[in-house]
Amino acid sequence: MPVDAKAVLTVCRELLDGMQPGVVAVDMPLATTSIEARRRADGEVSRRFGHCKCSTHSPSPVRPGATGRRLHESLAELGYSLATTNSRDLPALLEVYPHVALLGLTGRGERLPYKVAKSGTYWRGHPPEFRKQRLVEEWSAIVACLRRHIDGIDLPLPTRPQERSFQYLKRFEDAIDALVSAWVGVEFLQGTALPLGDGAAAIWVPASSMSFAQGHYAA
């Protein structure tokens, strides 16, 4: 189902007592040009964070495809310009990558095992009940780190995840990804996020994550 960007921003303004959000952060490939294949941004992130198991997937004309184009276009119509190495104007639209952001947020130098669909890979051979409990433990640790930067997080995690389906648990993973993306947006506003890519597309990375990167970086 397509995202109604105007409706989302309307709810945000209501929550902000009429203020307009300065940044929209999206975990999705975005670019000022048509996305046909792997971009410099994808290569930069993979080169610098591949050793942390945080390489990116390769985008294509079908991923993000029409969904990504519609979201980008609708936000552009509402005044949000894509932030790249050439532009940091407000209001801004950011591409973010939670896996890399979590390195800086948590201080852990390897990709965190918090994805529901990957639980069988993380804890191979363990029963579903064990894997569900471990996922919630990872989420709890992430939320604790987020609360150091974001006030008022209201995300009660399941107390008995063993009794829930993986499909049910996926909503908590999605909520955490949204919160991590929002934190990167805050870092951008504070001037403590850096763009990896070029003038057409950039993935914004918290400066704290760059301590785990390979190679020299010049903003």
pLDDT per residue as tens digits for the range 117-136: 999 999 999 999 999 999 99
* 3-state SS class at 93: strand
User: Is the pLDDT reported for residue 218 higher than 70?
Assistant: no
Tell me which residue of 84, 173, 90, 98 sits closest to 136, measured CA to CA.
173
Q: What is the pLDDT of residues 52-64, one digit of tens each?
A: 999 999 998 888 8
pLDDT (tens digit per residue) in 123-175: 999 999 999 999 999 999 999 999 999 999 999 999 999 999 999 999 999 99
> Beta-carbon neighbour count of residue 101 at 10 Å?
26
- Look at residue 66 in the predicted model and tell me its pLDDT: 85
- Rounded mean pLDDT, 41-47: 97
Spatial distance between the Cα atoms of 49 and 70, rounded to a whole number of angstroms: 30
Q: Say which residue the tokens 């995202």 belong to.
A: 3
What is the value of pTM for the model shown? 0.94
Give me the residues paired with residue 92 across strands.
23, 81
Residue 69 has pLDDT above 80, yes or no: yes
Position 216 scores a pLDDT of: 56
**Predicted confidence band of residue 87 (pLDDT cuts 50, 70, 90):** confident
Q: What is the DSSP string of 3-47?
A: --HHHHHHHHHHHTTTPPPSEEEESS---SS---S--HHHHHHHH
Residue 219, pLDDT score: 52
Amino acid letter for position 170: K
